[in-house]
Amino acid sequence: MLAIRGLKKVYRDEGDEGTTALDGLSFDIEKGEFVAIMGPSGSGKSTLLHILGFLDRPTGGEYVFNGKKMDELSDEDLARVRNREMGFVFQDFNLLGHATVAENVELPLLYSTDIEPADRRTLVERAVKAVGLEEKMRVEAGNLSGGQKQRVAIARALVMDPSVVFADEPTGNLDSKSGGAVMEILRELNKEGHTVILVTHETYTAEFANRILHIKDGLLEKDEKVLKQRETFFK
């Protein structure tokens, strides 16, 4: 479903020769995979996720997502693809603190051109139910615990029923119990058919995936199949 060939990203400030974050990466990810991108900090794994999630553009190489070449798409097109086909879960949740759970989850629907306003409520309820927060629909997101916030973020990522969910260190700000709950939800999503692409530096988080891409210095170091996926967060 997505393929990258020779993907490069160089951050260039005026005058200097630039910092290379990605140095010619190539791999494919098939529909239904659960892929963890691992690497030490500074390895370029977050940059890679941002490019895969159409949040940033590469400086070189090719990226094809669901048959669409990224360099042929305008910023508007990217926004539309992010809205319809991608869901995002961030390390620090990025919720609107003064909005309710339902309003946070509804956000992607507001920017969609093909969801009828009348259908929004049903979609929001379904997504919130999927993360088990139906009791908290009318609670302000700022008043939730970290684990609950991340589940709201997952519901928001799910609400448009995207083909792929990107998660950037989703357990990074959570204790192991809530982190475990979040990972179990992501694994469930994958079982239901969503492609999940996860960035992490923790091995035990990465082992929820069925494939681990090890990135180091902007290069693919190892493409590893996970023979036995982890089922719980605890050893």
Nearest 5°: CA angle at 187, between 40 and 80?
80
Minimum Å distance from CB 234 to other proteins? 31
Minimum Å distance from CB 83 to other proteins? 2
Q: Which residues bind other proteins (CB under 8 A)?
A: 50, 53, 55-56, 75-76, 79-80, 82-84, 88, 90, 94, 96, 98-99, 107-108, 110-112, 117, 156, 160
Cβ proximity to other proteins: between 82 and 211 the closer is 82
Cβ proximity to other proteins: between 63 and 88 the closer is 88
CB 87 within 8 A of CB 164: yes
Minimum Å distance from CB 177 to other proteins? 26
Q: Judging by DSSP bridges, how do beta strands 68-69 and 86-89 pair with one another?
A: unpaired
List the end-to-end C-alpha distance of the chain, in Å, as a whole number.
Answer: 33
Q: Which amino acid is at 80?
A: R
CB 82 within 8 A of CB 53: yes
CB 153 within 8 A of CB 94: yes
Cβ proximity to other proteins: between 3 and 55 the closer is 55
Long-range contacts, 209-212 (Cβ 8 Å, 24+): 209/34, 209/35, 209/36, 210/33, 210/34, 210/35, 211/33, 211/34, 211/35, 211/36, 212/35, 212/36, 212/37, 212/38
Minimum Å distance from CB 222 to other proteins? 26
Minimum Å distance from CB 192 to other proteins? 20
Q: Which amino acid is at 97?
A: G
Minimum Å distance from CB 75 to other proteins? 6
Minimum Å distance from CB 6 to other proteins? 21
* Of residues 152, 154, 115, 116, the one with CA closest to residue 134: 152
Cβ proximity to other proteins: between 50 and 214 the closer is 50
Cβ proximity to other proteins: between 75 and 135 the closer is 75
Determine the Cα–Cα distance for residues 190 and 42; give it in Å rounded to an integer: 28
Cβ proximity to other proteins: between 56 and 217 the closer is 56
Reading the block at residue 69, the tokens are 């070449």
Cβ proximity to other proteins: between 159 and 213 the closer is 159
